[in-house]
Amino acid sequence: MALPPHIQAGERVVLFDGVCRLCNGWAKFLIRHDRERRFRLCSVQSAEGQAILAWFGLPTDAFETMAYVEGEALFVRSDAVLRIVAQLPGAWRWLAWPRILPRALRDWCYDRIALNRYRLFGRYDSCLLPDPDHQGRFLDSAEPRS
């Protein structure tokens, strides 16, 4: 089994657009609610994010979807979001109910938000740096993994 670069066996990595305000809000939400630290985060603009995107054959210069990597498997768009929320603790799992809908419908809705996210939510001039209390949560963090 070949794993993407920078990802260890059993690791779950959420790739997100580091300059998108909505995407950063999603990353902060995961940090706050993923108490078991199931997920690692990685900006698509980082060297690690770029290498993972390239490994899966995804564009490295235009970011129109969030990606979720579980071992050697890649999930994008609504599949990525729903797979992540289904693994969150407590009531957050209920947010995964749309997985019963056809993927085409889910992805159409996802695309409407993703393609307009900068206009709707804004963007940062550069990727935000993790807060000191977020050490170890990011794939590109120098902090050892727990």
59-103 confidence digits (pLDDT tens)? 998 888 889 999 899 999 999 999 999 999 988 888 788 888 999
Q: Is residue 103 part of a domain?
A: yes
**Phi/psi at 66 (5° precision):** -80, 145
27-47 confidence digits (pLDDT tens)? 889 999 998 999 999 999 999
Q: How far apart are CA 33 and CA 46, in angstroms?
A: 24
Q: Is residue 131 part of a domain?
A: no
Q: Is residue 46 part of a domain?
A: yes
Q: Is residue 132 part of a domain?
A: no
Higher pLDDT, 54 or 117: 54
3-state secondary structure of 4: coil
3-state secondary structure of 67: strand
Residues 6 or more apart whose Cβ sits within 8 Å of residue 111: 64, 77
Q: Confidence band (pLDDT; 50, 70, 90) for 143?
A: very low
Which region, left, alpha or beta, applies to residue 4 given φ > 0 means left and ψ of -120 to 50 means alpha?
beta
- Which CA distances in Å does 3 have to 18, 107, 114, 138? 23, 26, 27, 18
- In this prediction the pTM is 0.85
Number of structural domains, the chain? 1
Q: Is residue 73 part of a domain?
A: yes
Q: Is residue 66 part of a domain?
A: yes
| DSSP H or E segment with residue 141 | none
Q: Is residue 95 part of a domain?
A: yes
Domain that holds residue 43: 12-121
Q: Is residue 138 part of a domain?
A: no
